[in-house]
Amino acid sequence: MSEELLQSKPLELGRYSYFKLGNSTLTQLRNAKVIAGPKTKLDRKKPDGLVLGPDASVKAFVEYKTPAEFKTKAQQQKAIDQEIEVAKSLCKVYIVTDGQKTIWINPATGNRILREDGSEVSSVVDVLQFYPGGMTSEQVKVFEELIDMADASLDAETDVIQTPELLDPAPLAQALWQKIWINTGKEPEKCLYNVVELFVFKFLSDLDVVKSHNNFSAIYRVRTRESAAEALKLYADSSRKNIRDLFPKGDDGTTVINGTIFVNEQGAPNLAQAGLFGEVLDQFEAFDKEHGSFRHIQRDFKTRLYESFLRQSAGVKALGQYFTPRNVVRAIVKMSSASTLAPSARVADPFCGVGGFLLETIVGNPHIYKQFEPKNGLVKTDMTIVGYDKGTDEKEDERTIILAKANMLIYFSDLLAQNHSEKTLQSFSSGAFNSVFKLLRSNLGTFAKVDDEPYDLILTNPPYVTSGVSSLRKAIEEGGLAGHYTSGGRGTESLAMEWIIRNLAPGGQAIVVVPDGLLIQKPVLNYISKTCRVQAVISLPTRTFYSTSKKTYVLAVTRLHPGESAQTDPVFTYLVSEMGETRDNYRFPMAQDDLNVAADKFNQFKGSPATFTSEDPRCKVVAFSELAENGNWLVDRRWTLAEKAELGIVEQPTEFTEDEFVSLVTEAQTLLGEFLGSVHVDD
């Protein structure tokens, strides 16, 4: 080993590293395991510098000249010719530079590397700036992106680097879910947890977050050279533990992965499923070879990962309770005050499921997303963003919040790709995943969380059931919390609505998905009217949600300030028939999207409620006094049959499954029991 190698240290360039050399041969570099790859007849050459990937692969060969040696075109061409054959044997990018002018060469052709618009890549490479503090984070990202794109798209037949085509792995996700479900017979949701865990593993491997000895390629090599059983052992004993170390548990004991088909509850490999594990690896590898790595994933896939599984009929009922359809989430975030929140604002989803409302709020608003960019290796936000989910000490009850954290990891894949030192990854756990999503281990869940500071924005789709509410109210009383729930409404939806309003800051906004049953409960409507200004009531179509035919609405309110006078502004109402996708298990995209139109018009309405008008027949602006006096807020009843016919709405009789019918009968029995219990008959 040369003295230079003993003394030199790689300089970090985002995911890549730079070795400043000049006195070490390629043979010495291979022997020292600085670089990987087969030997060549040019290994006696001594490169000036190499840009290396995390797996020791050479990504770029750097030839450095003094400005005096790089003035004329003849000098520049001589410099290019000097080591082009060496560069060609090692990598796809050959960089020749004097620190002031840089030429990027495709070593396979000897031509300049071009951008898609035909211009030459001319980004200056000055190795003196590679030292710590020499480049801004933006400059590092530009360099990293150029190497990424060249590595992904530059080949022997082209000199053009192209923006990689974004990948949609939805078909793979569905195929894997189906395979695991059919082969194991496990509950659909348990199969989902395992597919998500393996997707997280593949994501982190392709982003170079999981290092070479633990990544997908390493596991797959063991699968092909040894056996599926040995591959599963390595995954369970090393790769999986590595991920859990990089993303430590939060105070609630949950992290981003927790599948229990290929490993047991203690994390040991379940060798009975080794054959299935090998088949799953084969499908990942085949997809990778055909379509490319997971480094460049369509945003739509990231946001719809879990919805892919709901298209499997076996999973709809079991999994649907956790999900609000993405089109509904995006419309509600669009309607919200998220884009104008102050840097120190507080945002919550008190019944967060897999976290869609909060994640869409973060990625849909650049000023919020930017708060999660690491600074000096740490993720620390000024804004408070929190999602609660109910759980117990049972492992099964942890999994929804684990899915939320895994969901956030996939949403943040771009940030993780650019910032993945061990310190920063662990900071993502503490400052993002674990600080945002919290499991509340009690039967009351969020209903016991009465000590929160007020929130400026609450977006949520709370649970709405009637059966079991009496025991819930009893637990509230026994816990000394009855004073926090005094509106007198029925069902968990009334408890949820009161929690939301009590936890809104004055002037704060809440947008909530509510069932029709809430909007006919006079005590609850009176409570809302006294404490809030009602901004909007939007009627959603039946079968908006995967697992229920229940009629639902979007209710938007803002909390009144102390002493603020009663509401005089009118209320925005809208009749939605379609929401941009079919309302069956398949959820195919469709052109008609009344909900998105409603969101746009609501934002116009917010600018001047008193003067807003619309010619849209689906939109009606209603005086609040008229709504309040009506006794219910079921706004779709404000459209006559003739008006609905004009809109092409033909009201079909609602069809119920056997389970849904039993649920409705049970709810009716509960309501009747409550009613009879409140009636006193004289003897």
Per-residue pLDDT, 482: 92
CA-to-CA distance for 490 and 517, rounded, in angstroms?
Answer: 9
Give tens-digit pLDDT for 248-258: 999 998 999 88
Between 549 and 146, the more confident residue is 146
DSSP symbol at 525: H
Angle between helices 188-206 and 170-184 (to 10 degrees): 140
Whether residue 184 contacts residue 273, with contact meaning beta carbons closer than 8 Å, is answered with yes
Residue 683's pLDDT is: 38
Q: Is the pLDDT of residue 335 over 70?
A: yes
What residues form DSSP beta bridges with 96?
63, 103
Question: End-to-end CA distance of the chain, in Å?
Answer: 103
Give yes or no for a contact between 654 and 664, defined as CB atoms under 8 angstroms apart.
no
Residue 417 pLDDT > 90, yes or no?
Answer: no
Task: Specify the higher pLDDT residue, 298 or 650.
Answer: 298
Interval 360-375: pLDDT, tens = 999 999 999 999 999 8
- As a CATH number, domain 3-153 is 3.90.1570
The model scores a pTM over 0.85: no
Structure tokens at 600: 């746009």
Does pLDDT of 481 surpass 80? yes
Decide if pLDDT at 110 tops 50.
yes
Percentage of residues of the chain with pLDDT beyond 90: 52
Q: Is the pLDDT of residue 498 over 90?
A: yes
Compute the average pLDDT of residues 546-573: 91
Residue 109: CB partners within 8 Å, gap ≥ 6? 156, 159
Higher-confidence residue: 666 or 432? 432
Q: Is the pLDDT of residue 117 over 90?
A: no
Residue 468 has pLDDT above 80, yes or no: no
- Going from N- to C-terminal start, the domains of the chain cover 3-153, 170-314, 470-652
Q: What is the pLDDT of residue 515?
A: 93
Q: What digits encode the pLDDT tens for the residues 393-403?
A: 555 668 889 98
- In the numeric block, the tokens 């692969």 are attached to 57
Q: Is the pLDDT of residue 608 over 90?
A: yes
Q: Express each pLDDT in 33-48 by its tens digit.
A: 888 777 888 888 999 9
Three-state DSSP state, 76: helix
Q: What is the DSSP string of 403-420?
A: HHHHHHHHHTHHHHHH--
Asked whether the beta carbons of 639 and 609 are under 8 A apart, the reply is: no
pLDDT band at 659 (very low <50, low <70, confident <90, very high): low
Q: What is the Cα 464 distance to its own chain's centre?
A: 25
Query: pLDDT exceeding 70 applies to what percent of the chain?
Result: 88
Q: How confident is the model at residue 439 (pLDDT cuts 50, 70, 90)?
A: very high
- CA 660 to chain CA mean position, Å: 31
Reduce the DSSP state of residue 364 to 3 states and report it.
coil
- The residue assigned the tokens 């739509």 is 300
Q: What is the pLDDT of residue 678?
A: 47
Of 423-437, 586-600, 649-663, the range with the lowest mean pLDDT is 649-663
Beta bridge partners of 441: 391
Rg of the chain over Cα atoms, rounded to whole angstroms, equals 29
Two structure tokens written together for 355: 């976290």
**Residue 574, φ and ψ in degrees, nearest 5:** -150, 145
Q: What is the pLDDT of residue 53?
A: 79
Quote the CA–CA distance of 373 and 217 in Å, as a whole number. 28
Confidence of residue 193 (pLDDT cuts 50, 70, 90): confident
Q: What are phi and psi of 514, to 5 degrees?
A: -130, 150
Q: 85 CB contacts (<8 Å, ≥6 apart)?
A: 42
Candidates 143, 392, 414, 192; CA nearest to 295 is 414
Collapsed DSSP state (helix, strand, coil) of residue 171: helix
The sign of the CA dihedral 254, 256, 260, 263 is: negative
Q: In this structure, what token pair is assigned to residue 551? A: 């009629």
Cα–Cα distances in Å, from 222 out to 180, 202, 226, 230, 491? Answer: 21, 16, 5, 7, 54
Q: Which range is least confidently modeled, 229-243, 569-583, 585-599? A: 585-599
Contacts of residue 259, Cβ cutoff 8 Å, sequence gap at least 6: 193, 194, 196, 197, 198
Q: Between 272 and 17, where is the model more confident?
A: 272
pLDDT, mean of residues 635-647: 91
Confidence (pLDDT) at 682: 44
| Residue-wise pLDDT tens digits, 74-94 | 999 999 999 999 999 988 999
**Residue 668 banded pLDDT, cuts 50, 70, 90:** low
Query: What pLDDT does 512 receive?
Result: 98
Average pLDDT of every residue of the chain = 86
**pLDDT of residue 312 exceeding 60:** no
Residue 277 has what pLDDT? 97
What's the whole-number mean pLDDT along residues 394-418?
Answer: 83
Residues 628-657, mean pLDDT to the nearest whole number: 81
Alpha helices in 336-448 (DSSP H): 356-363, 366-369, 399-411, 413-418, 422-428, 434-436
Q: Is-contact 25 46, C-beta < 8 A?
A: yes
The residue-averaged pLDDT of 505-524 equals: 95
Give the residue from 302, 582, 259 showing the smallest Cα distance to 414.
302
Per-residue pLDDT at 674 exceeds 60: no
